[in-house]
Structure formats: C-alpha cells, structure tokens
Amino acid sequence: MPLNRRSYFGAGDGLADTGTGTAGDEAAGQGAAIGAPPGRKRGNGNRIAAKASGLRRRHGGSALLLAAFLAIPLWLLGDNLADSGSAVTLPSSVSLAAPTDNYFGSPVQVYPAGPDVDFCVVFEFLGVNEATSYVNLGILIGITSSGLRAIDKQRPLPTDGELVFASESGLSAFSVPFPLRPLTARPVTCASMLNPPVLEREAPYRIIQQVFALSTPQSFPNDWYELNDKISVAAAGFVRPASLILTSRDAGFAVTANRFTRADKPLWGSRISIIATRHLVVVYYTYFIALMPATLLIGIFWLIYEQRKSVPGGKLPGRWLPSATDIAFGVAATMVAILPLRAVLVPSSLPAPTRLDVLFGVQVALLVALSIIWIRKTAGWEQAPDPGPGDQLSSVDSAETAGHE
C-alpha cells in the first residue's frame, strides 16, 4: 500500500490526523479510554454486578440443595447422639483384665472379704446379648469356714440358699436359688478363688444367669451396657455377709467395675457395678472403615478441582472432567459398597438403625448432593481441546497454549 505523503513527512501531525500509523492507534486507544463516556463505565459495573449476582444465586442454590439432602440424616444423627449419651463414670473404677488363651482374665475383688464373711461369690462376665440387653453372668458360689459354722448352728439345717438381685435402676428384684449341701461339703477361702485355675477346679457350685442391664445398643460402636445391682446371699432365713469377685471372659468388650469398701456396704447385702464398652481400637477402626467410600469419592472431586486451579485459564481437557454418567456410576458404586460394609461392621444382633447406619445415610446424602452440585458447576466450565494423537505437548501444555491463544 503506498505511503501517504503527509503521514510520512508530518510525523506526529500526520499520524494523529490519519490514524493509519501505530502511534495513531495507541493515541486513539488512550483517548477512547480517557474520554470514555460515563455510560460505558456504568455498563462494566452492571456486568460485574450481574456476575456477582449469578455467583450468589449459584452458591445459594448449592447451599439449599445441601440443606435439603442433609436435613433429615443430620437430625437423626443429632437425635442419636443426644439419646445415647455416655456411660456413667464410676468413682472408684478398676478395669478387668482381658481373657488370655481362651480363659478368664485375672479376678478382681470388688467387695472385700473379712473375717466375718460367710460366702464368696464370683461373677464371670461371659458376654452381652445386644438384641435383648441381657448380660450373661457365670456365678460361682463358695462357703467359708465362718459361714459353715453359722449354718451348722441352725436347726433344722437349711438345704438351700438364695442369691438375690435388687436393681438400683428401678427394675424388679429376683432371686437365684442354689443348694447348700455341695457347698458345706467343701468350704473355700476367698483368696483361693482369686486364682483362675483354682477357681475353675474348686468352685463347689456354678450357674449361668442372665441379668438385664441398662444399655444403648443404638449408639454402636459407642454403645455401653451398665449393670448396677445390690447382691445379697440369704441362707437359713438371714442375709449373710459375702465377698464379691469379678472376672471377664469376653474379649470383645472392655469391662470396668467399681471397687467398693466395707464402708460402702448398704443396709443389706453387697453392691456390684459393671460397665461394658467397646475397645477404643474397635471404635476407631469401625469409623475409619465406614468413612473410606465417601472419603475416596470426595478426594477424587477435590483432586480435579485443584488441577483446574493449577492450569492457566482454568481450562482442563474435556477428558479430565468426569461426565454426569461417570459421576452417577461413581456414586452408585459407593452406595453399593456401603451395604457389605454395614454387614461386616455392624453385628447382626444389634437393633437398627444404629449410629453407624445413620452415618452411612449422611454419607449417601452428602455424596448425592455434592454430585448434583458438581454437575451444575462443571457444566459452565470452559474446556481445552483434547491433544491429538500426534501432539507431543502434555495435557497441561496444551491447556496453557489454549489459554494464551
């Protein structure tokens, strides 16, 4: 194109007049920027306000969607936490030793013996029936020399005795009869019954009894079972002083008992307080495994989101973004994986729904809500073209090139 004589020789004036040179273009652009009418600025402001309003609407819609999906599961979880509470704290507690080699743990004397003790009673914690909240106790009874002398003074000689349970939790009392003749034939000492092998071999009489306990099975794996009773041994029409010993044979529960002194003796009989809870390792393991499906899926979403922030322009190749079908299959697979997890982690004897069931429900609701929100958000994301077969650039380089162009 031929040069304009005036624009060539009249440098500044020609460029300003004709606007065909580079300096003229810059001056025209600066003049347009400086002398832009107020209406144009207002237009930019309107666009920014409209964009902010759109963001508020999208975030507000996401919050409403989360609230709609999580309202009922979170309400059930809060109700479970409020109703279950925690086990009472025993003022003078002692932990029963766990069983070893499929045998009883070391016995613990929870109500002391004395020179005037007539009977030694050992309670073996055999386990809990979570469906009925009954504690299975093995009861070993032995009579001491002091008790034998007291019985021999009675005429006629009594033939039976009774072990009376009186609940301190408002439950009705009941008694367990036992014969006296096998006991009087072989008196024992309470010290000898603190030795597990001797306990099994020399206990004159043994029975198994189910005792109802206060419990919170719906709070599994934080469930607990509390037995709080007054125990008395009656023979020959009188309540006889007795020493109480506890031991455990259930490795699935951590058993804690209250150790009483002779000053704590009630008006009649003795007292026994037992609390059984899950081992902390079992509790942590249960929650850890239960949260793994949701953690995996949320981690994948978060990884894609972080990758998008690290790419200039925020444009990821289309193949990096999961489609709505991929997300639906991922959530469905997670929901299907929860079912066998529930069967493995939650004992079948527990009444449903437990705390773990509610937690599974919260996970499912959260995953479905997040999936819908993710699809809504990614639908508006700009995508970079996928690199072709012959393209030697990496995916990130292709995205950067597309962003610069």
Q: Is the Cβ–Cβ distance between 181 and 157 less than 8 Å?
A: no
Averaged over 52-56, what is the pLDDT?
54
Q: For 204-209, what is the mean pLDDT? A: 86
Q: Is 335 exposed, middle or buried (0-12, 13-18, 19+ CB in 10 A)?
A: middle
Q: Which of 118-132, 257-271, 323-337 has the lowest mean pLDDT?
A: 257-271
* pLDDT for residue 276: 92
What pLDDT does 137 receive?
92
Cα-Cα-Cα-Cα dihedral sign, residues 79, 257, 106, 242: negative
Element (H, E) at 208: strand 205-212
By mean pLDDT, which of 278-282, 295-299, 302-306 is the weakest? 302-306
By residue count, the chain amounts to: 405
**Is pLDDT larger for residue 7 or for residue 83?**
83
> Taking residues 330-334, what's their average pLDDT?
78
Q: 116-127 burial, b for 16+ CB within 10 Å, e for fewer? A: ebbbbbbbbbbb
At residue 159, the pLDDT reads 85
More confident residue, 242 or 55: 242
Mean pLDDT confidence for 100-116: 78
Using one digit for the tens of pLDDT, what is the confidence trace for 224-244?
Answer: 999 888 888 888 778 888 888
∠ CA 205-210-215, rounded to 5°: 140
d(CA 3, CA 19): 13
Q: Is the pLDDT of residue 267 over 60?
A: no
pLDDT higher than 70, residue 263:
no
For residue 301, which of 360, 370, 359 has the smallest C-alpha distance? 370
pLDDT the model gives residue 168: 72
Residue-level pLDDT at 269: 64
Using CA atoms, how far residue 137 sits from 194, 207, 213, 245, in Å, is 17, 8, 12, 12
Mean pLDDT of 347-359: 89
Residue 172: how many CB atoms within 10 A of its CB? 8
Mean pLDDT computed over 305-311: 67
CA-CA distance, 332 to 335, in Å (whole number)? 5
pLDDT (0 to 100) of residue 45: 57
Give the relative orientation of helices 355-378 and 280-290 as an angle to the nearest 10 degrees.
Answer: 30
Q: Count CB-CB contacts under 10 A for residue 384.
A: 21
- Mean per-residue pLDDT of the chain: 75
252 has pLDDT over 80? yes
Instruction: Using pLDDT thresholds of 50, 70 and 90, give the confidence band for residue 400.
Output: very low
Average confidence (pLDDT) over 125-144: 90
Predicted TM-score (pTM) of the model is 0.71
Q: Which residue has the higher pLDDT, 302 or 316?
A: 302
pLDDT of residue 32: 43
Where on the phi/psi map is residue 175: left (φ > 0), alpha (ψ -120 to 50), or beta?
beta
Neighbours of 108 (CB within 10 A): 18
> pLDDT confidence of 316, banded at 50, 70, 90?
low
Instruction: Identify whether the C-beta of residue 320 lies closer than 8 Å to the C-beta of residue 402.
Output: no
pLDDT at residue 405 in the model: 46
The pLDDT of residue 15: 38
pLDDT at 302: 81
Give residue-wise pLDDT tens across range 165-198.
Answer: 988 776 778 889 999 888 888 888 888 777 766 6
Say what the pLDDT of residue 320 is: 57
User: Burial, 71: exposed, middle or buried (Cβ in 10 Å; 0-12, 13-18, 19+)?
Assistant: exposed
